[in-house]
Structure 1
């Protein structure tokens, strides 16, 4: 056995180390004196506020202030962008959005495009969110099993999340367009004639739902996978010793213990479904007609893209959408807490 080299290693030169750390020490000494004085004057609570101040300033500038400006825009009229050039109209924009003879018939509304977008978004939410959660749950259950190359498959399912929504829309547009890859495969395998998938109202909606699920399911599956791995294995071992069937284990053990993660997934999926825009806009442009025009596209086109733009109307629509999202989130949280109380009893 070869003898180990026990000769002492040369220590780093003190001159080089001192020269490297000298600017750091100088900077820390300059900061240390005012921080000590502030801590002595304000105490520990004051120090916590001091370190939170930069974060609160960023939150105020980039979140709170835009919300206030957006509300001010919603109370003004005209096509001008600068607030100084706009006129105060009060709740006129909200009245225009909410004036309808029948909310089930967008054609009877003063702003019919808004209610078409609301109807399309509601339909998208009702179809996409349950399918997304179901696919994410199945994916998480499969990836939680002892598979060969499990890390590789987890990366494969998560990879679409890393893509830009615009890239996702372009990829699927190249696949689904009339001269795209899907029609080529159908022609080569079955001799089928080319079909305009994105020009058909049903298939355009189906494509919007499917592409959004493909693009985001990896993120939600990762949340559910973390929840599955947090469940103690002793519970499953005890159920196996009792001879419990796998379906009963899923309904009686896995699903109840996974409920907190499912609630998080549900809230995030609902918020994202209401805010769907990027990949669908690139994929279909809101067409055919207005069949895949959703709320964010309506707000974007009304505020910026339309020749007769109306920033105030777009701001009012965005505030109404934000209120609905807050209400939905509060209802889901309240329902979850009520379910937890019933479970504790």
Structure 2
């Protein structure tokens, strides 16, 4: 019975081998994956490019007119690039400025916490499996659940003000102040995603040969020297992967911030992905071309950054 499916498809594979030959037969196995990549990755990019060079609030391509690079020119139209209010699309530049502050801070804190946590949980401690599960647990939660939980904690009558009020502090609207709102969106996103990168770094740590640490122990090397001279250098390829993934994830942050603050107060926590969403889907009239142009600029920047980072890393080997 177990060989029944194999016998059923056997004649087809024999026919395919005769028609295609052994060299071309692997392409038949790759066809489903290639079709999936074309339909869900390549085709959307091509459609996005077409939208970025067309105008009108019509959704269907046949109803849109070709306008060339006008959408890109509109986004770049500024008298002073350091002053968002002087740009024709000031929200685009404000969200870009927020992104340029958000990404470095989030990535630095997220990688630092993930690395320290991975090193600690790689040691011989009690209930190690339990603590690994605890640190990874936020990753399994929906971003909306994460944001709504922290929104409940940070609201004026929320848990945080309740705890602080017990010590005599006055209630504070944490998400209504632009500086505190920006701090909390970084905190919440780091809390939600650092466990994922901790697992990757933990796998990298476990691939380091144990005899290297034994030799360092025999030489009576300090814990800091072992970490800086053995752990970090041998973990560098994994750190590069984590860094690139963390930057891409950080740039694409949308769900938590949209639910937690809605990009506010004002535009203090609006990032570029939210601007693209607002422009293409929430604003009236919907400007699909401008949203497509902004998304392509973001994708191009990420691609260039990744290529530069991998080139630099390759040159150090």
Which interval holds the TM-score relative to the shorter structure? over 0.9
Residue aligning to 2:229: 252
In the alignment, the residues of structure 1 paired with residue 235 and residue 41 of structure 2 have an alpha-carbon distance, to the nearest angstrom, of 32
- 1:59 and 2:59 equivalent? no
Residue aligning to 2:175: 198
In structure 2, runs of 5+ residues without a counterpart are none
In the alignment, the residues of structure 2 paired with residue 305 and residue 244 of structure 1 have an alpha-carbon distance, to the nearest angstrom, of 59
1:28 is displaced (CA, Å) by 3.7
In the alignment, the residues of structure 2 paired with residue 197 and residue 138 of structure 1 have an alpha-carbon distance, to the nearest angstrom, of 28
Residue aligning to 1:150: 128
- 1:172 and 2:157 equivalent? no
Residue from 102, 105, 108 that aligns with 1:124: 102
In the alignment, the residues of structure 1 paired with residue 168 and residue 285 of structure 2 have an alpha-carbon distance, to the nearest angstrom, of 47
Find the residue that maps to 1:103 and give its secondary structure. coil
What is the correspondence of 1:214-293 to structure 2 with a 5 Å cutoff?
214-293=191-270
What is the correspondence of 1:313-328 to structure 2 with a 5 Å cutoff?
313-328=290-305
1:43 is displaced (CA, Å) by 2.1
In the alignment, the residues of structure 2 paired with residue 294 and residue 181 of structure 1 have an alpha-carbon distance, to the nearest angstrom, of 27
In the alignment, the residues of structure 1 paired with residue 22 and residue 169 of structure 2 have an alpha-carbon distance, to the nearest angstrom, of 74
Task: Kindly report the root-mean-square deviation, in angstroms, between the aligned alpha carbons of the 2 structures.
Answer: 1.1
Find the residue that maps to 2:171 and give its secondary structure. coil
In the alignment, the residues of structure 2 paired with residue 105 and residue 115 of structure 1 have an alpha-carbon distance, to the nearest angstrom, of 8
1:312 is displaced (CA, Å) by 0.4
1:172 is displaced (CA, Å) by 0.4
Bigger CA radius of gyration: 1
1:338 is displaced (CA, Å) by 1.4
1:307 is displaced (CA, Å) by 1.4
Instruction: Count the aligned residue pairs.
Output: 317
- Normalised to the residue count of structure 1, the TM-score between the two structures is 0.90
- Normalised to the residue count of structure 2, the TM-score between the two structures is 0.98
